Structure 1
């Protein structure tokens, strides 16, 4: 079965007259008759009920006409859109991100992408940094937004967002913004911090905040999830260090003291494979 035969069939189904259909196809009538007969033999059905005076579609022919019309509509759509796909203007991007991205820079970035390239669809997965690293190595993500990834020659990375850390305390804690002087004031407190396994560099950055104040943190709980950390602090299970943006998106009964005068910052880095064949990823990178 060839597209040419199907075009001949659709023309005859429209004209219901072999001579008129052949003329519009710029072929001789016997050639059209032969092609329709070959098609009917291949399908094992009669597409037309015909006699010397009339030609009309059989019941099966009407169904076949409707379905083949859809095939040609899809083909025409593909022809029109394939250039968009080649240029990266139509397609999909699979994105991984840590939780804080969704209440900082990521919504604005996605809105900008949709405004410029509305035919690029994004698939979002909130994941830990370690899970994103594994997923992007397996090719399950096009781009990852994670915290302080290790250098890897296979991937390209770019810092995309930076903010201050905050000391997070229960609401009834004796420290507040007016009497806070340095991290040394919480040297004897129990801390809730991320696990080293989810990102050694990010883990070390938080430890260095305490080390710069002259102590090593005593760990009571470990979690990589910001909202879990906030609930644990609220229930007096420890204090923590967390990006200041979490202060804008929680109703937990806790206190944030922004650490403005320390060199350590909470960072989000974009990581992707520069050899990715996905043209839509290149368009997304332009937004970054």
Structure 2
């Protein structure tokens, strides 16, 4: 028995004849001539060392060995088909595991909508989501434990491709009983003597410096009396009267009790949500995700879920 020379085409030919029980119809189904088909079936029988078909002038029937091989050949061909389909989906970015990191304020933009759209388009991808600070997410991206992420004002980072997908202005947040709360817009200079509630510089150095730069442009450094990691916490502390803050405009969507967000007349400062992944990234699953993110944010719905 010489099994080393058996090829998939032998099994396909065999299955066609076994299902048709007629060499002529099987040849038509396979789009080949009948003589070569008959030759390949005989060759398969020789390699196996047993007869698969009983042939007479009136009919073709399977032997017991043929019946057994038919079921196993079907299973083999189905398995190979499934394996090739799985590989194709991986190659197209339609399957696999995708680890996505994000910052909390990203959830106040079009990001949730984008993730929902991705889930519907790629249901076979195991989408794993984790929240980080910008600095923490940068580290996770660089060491490969996160595949793609959404940062805020990360700036150029070695080993990472970073691009803005949504840019927005800053707003000021004050308590409802604050002296400025009735204003529609204010200058950052109006906050000069106010205590500030802000996120720690360690959460994102460039984002922190960009916020502080808005104050510096008006001649002062913010007097930070309280730090907090999340915008919901920061705005809640502002509403409680502990201070004021300057934040991305998307935080208005939080609608925190006793807190009012005011537009800033400063037009030269803005903050960006950024898409990031390793600059050597070639995997279709990551590139397809990035392409969808660009598409969703490009539609100008960055601040709408």
- Measured in 2, the distance between the counterparts of 1:19 and 1:178 equals 88
C-alpha distance in structure 1 between counterparts of 2:196 and 2:164, whole Å? 27
Q: Is the 8 A contact 1:5 1:35 kept in 2?
A: no
2:62 pairs with one of 31, 52, 55: 55
Match for residue 30 of structure 2?
A: none
Q: Which runs of 5+ in 2 are unaligned?
A: 28-33, 299-305
- Matching residue of 1:43: none
Conservation of the 8 A alpha-carbon contact between 1:5 and 1:36: no
Partner deviation per Cα, 1:66-102 (whole Å, 9 max, x = no partner): 52242243266469x57x94xx575676543323333
1:239-278 alignment, distance < 5 Å? 239-261=244-266, 263-278=268-283
Contact 1:188–1:218 (CA under 8 A) maintained in structure 2: no
Partner residue, 1:203:
208
Change (3 A) 1:62 1:3: closer
Summarize deviations over 1:145-189 as a string: whole Å, max 9, x none: 212224234333333322121222233333214287544554454
* Offset at residue 265 of structure 1 (A): 1.7
- Output aligned runs, 1:149-228, within 5 Å: 149-178=154-183, 181-211=186-216, 212-223=218-229, 225-228=230-233
1:278 Cα offset (Å): 2.0
Say which SS state the counterpart of residue 164 (structure 1) adopts. Answer: strand
**Any idea what SS the aligned residue of 2:43 has?**
helix
Question: Aligned partners of 2:149, 2:41: CA distance in 1, in Å?
Answer: 61
The alignment's C-alpha RMSD in Å is: 4.4
Question: Between Structure 1 and Structure 2, how many residues are aligned?
Answer: 274
Q: CA 1:121–1:252 in 2, change beyond 3 Å: closer, same or farther?
A: farther
Partner residue in 2 for 1:45? none
Change (3 A) 1:267 1:77: closer
CA–CA distance in 2 between the matches of 1:182 and 1:14? Answer: 82
Q: Distance in 2 between matches of 1:49 and 1:252?
A: 82
The Cα offsets for residues 42-68 of structure 1, whole Å up to 9 and x where unpaired, read as: xxxxxx898999536689657535522
How do 1:7-26 residues align onto structure 2 when only pairs under 5 Å count? Answer: 7-11=12-16, 13-15=18-20, 25-26=37-38
Q: CA deviation at 1:275?
A: 2.5
What is the TM-score when the length of structure 1 is the normalising length?
0.70
Asked if residue 130 in structure 1 is aligned to residue 130 in structure 2, the reply is: no
Give the TM-score of the pair, scaled to structure 2. Answer: 0.67
Question: Which residue does the alignment assign to 1:67?
Answer: 75
> CA deviation digits over 1:240-283, x for unaligned, max 9?
22111121343534211122325332222333333322245555
The answer (yes or no) to whether the contact 2:95–2:122 under 8 Å persists in 1 is no
- Matching residue of 1:33: 45
Listed as ranges, the gaps of 5+ residues in structure 1 are 41-47
**Is residue 185–residue 263 contact of structure 2 (8 Å, CA) maintained in 1?**
no
> CA–CA distance in 2 between the matches of 1:55 and 1:9?
11
Secondary structure in structure 1 of the residue aligned to 2:255: coil
